[in-house]
Amino acid sequence: MGAAALIMAFSVLLSRLMGLFRDKIISWQFGAGGEADIYFAAFVVPDFLNYLLAGGYVSITLIPLLSRRFEENEEDAWRFFGTVFCWATLAIGLLTALAWIAAPVLAPLVAPGFDAAQCARLTQFLRIVLPAQVFFLPGACLSAILYIRHQFFVPALMPLIYNGGILLFGVGLPWLGLVQGMEGFCWGVLAGASVGAFLLPLSTVRSGGFRFLPGLAHPLMKRFLLMALPLMVGQSVVVLDEQFVRIFGSLAGDGAVSLLNYARRIMMVPVGVVAQAAGVASFPFLAALAAKGDMEHFRFTLNRTMKNSMMIAVPVAAWMITASGPVLGFIFEGGSFSTSHTSGAAPLLQIMLLAVPFWLLQQVTGRAFYAMQDTVTPAVVGTAATLLAVPAYVLLIPVMGAKAVALVTTLSIALYAIALLFIACRRWATGAFEGVWITAWRSVLLSMPGCGIMLAVMHDGFRLLSGLSPLLQQFIVLAVGGTLFVVSWLLLSYFFQRHYYWTVLYPILRKLHPRKPREPRS
């Protein structure tokens, strides 16, 4: 599980960095507002279709059923896979075609703050981006086979190729004079989805043995639909979070969509590297333990995953909250993205980063429910959090503007995570979350001195480096402040919470010195 987590974490980190580089290009060329707002809004409808068909959860729903069927009858397993694949392809194909036709009607609905010209441009972008969804859902079915085979490398590579396609087309097509504005990025989405999300997993699955037995009926389809239906009907705040940022951000003034999107991109780096990687890596192991009925080891694995991930997530979030201004400036400033844009996005990022520990809790706990073949509870709780969030957005945006979007998003994720933990503890997770909150608070205390050092470096660093370029100033401040933060955290953890110190450093030290040191027993 640790190896799988490292592979997925490294993949997510590279993918997030590529996404930030893409947004750097967008912010440099287009700043915040106008064409950038339209581009970000163009993903609302395609993403909604994906969520409607539980595209992000197809592999989660399919893995337990398909893996068991492979053990019992391989030929029938391929027949079951072919049935799911055919229905998934037909469903997403039909919905995409309908949305493509209705794009002029959908544009003003997803961005109610846009004028007529912006809606016309949004319609054009929608009709380019929408067909990409036809590749995502069938690709998710193929990824399920790779996860069953414990082939994590290709699923880790898929988002990198997807983001690479967006960058290549987004920069290359305008340079060749084939498109204008951000249209090239839209074509990149389509190209990246076709290659990264579909052709790559298809070729890998075929190389390991693949039998495609198409069909529209199979006895297991009823069970599959019963598990997937709550994820289709329920619209969790987790999957709608990004869409809410775009929809309600359009009501918070010109440029709000872009600033919120830039802030969220950075916030999702620690979420992806720590929370999502922990959730994805732990799920096959939790599912296997649940299938065996070994609840003692199930709860132990869940507890250790939570606590070890929290040791990393909290310090990272604390440092990024402190250094939000330089982080945003270093990544996005330049060209059309000014220091005023950095100042506007920094408080949004700080508010969103408060949700990182709750993202971790939700990602791991949600997959624990899926491992127990319970997709209803996360869907119901997530939908309830969504219903509470919508009126909060409407009430607070006129008062707080874009900050209201960031605040409500953070509170919604926190509410969702805490509710899931409470229900899990009442049902089957007694003792599984023991020590998690204590770990989080101790990590906060261990991080505070380092945050103070980071503030001092920011205060004096920019003054001492005033003769250098802003980009170089920000890089030096982040490098020096980040290094001192890490040193401070390690020293304090060594003297006061040595288990944290060994949990973080032991894998590295073991690689450097295979025979020593030995991790002390906690």
Task: Report pLDDT digits (tens) over 358-394.
Answer: 998 988 898 888 888 788 888 888 888 888 888 999 8
The Cα 318–Cα 315 span in angstroms is 5
Residue type, 198: F
- % residues pLDDT > 70 (the chain): 90
Contacts of residue 239, Cβ cutoff 8 Å, sequence gap at least 6 = 51, 56, 382
| Sequence spans of domains, the chain | 1-233
Q: What angle do CA 218, 223, 225 make, to 5 degrees?
A: 90
Average pLDDT over residues 178-206: 90
Q: Is it the case that residue 509 has pLDDT exceeding 70?
A: no
Give 360-369 pLDDT, tens digit per residue. Answer: 898 889 888 8
What element of type H or E holds 110?
A: helix 103-110
Is 0.85 topped by the overall pTM?
A: no
Contacts of residue 318, Cβ cutoff 8 Å, sequence gap at least 6 = 443, 444, 447, 448, 450, 451
Alpha helices by DSSP H, 182-276: 183-192, 200-207, 221-233, 237-249, 256-270
Q: Is it the case that residue 520 has pLDDT exceeding 60?
A: no
Most confident among 209-213, 439-443, 499-503 (mean pLDDT): 439-443
For the beta carbon of residue 142, count every other beta carbon within 10 angstroms. 26
Q: Minimal CA–CA distance to 45: which of 84, 86, 92?
A: 92
The Cα 393–Cα 241 span in angstroms is 12
**What is the distance, to the nearest Å, from the Cα of residue 2 to the centroid of all Cα atoms in its chain?**
19
Give 395-429 pLDDT, tens digit per residue. Answer: 999 889 889 999 999 999 999 999 999 999 888 87
Q: Is it the case that residue 320 has pLDDT exceeding 80?
A: yes
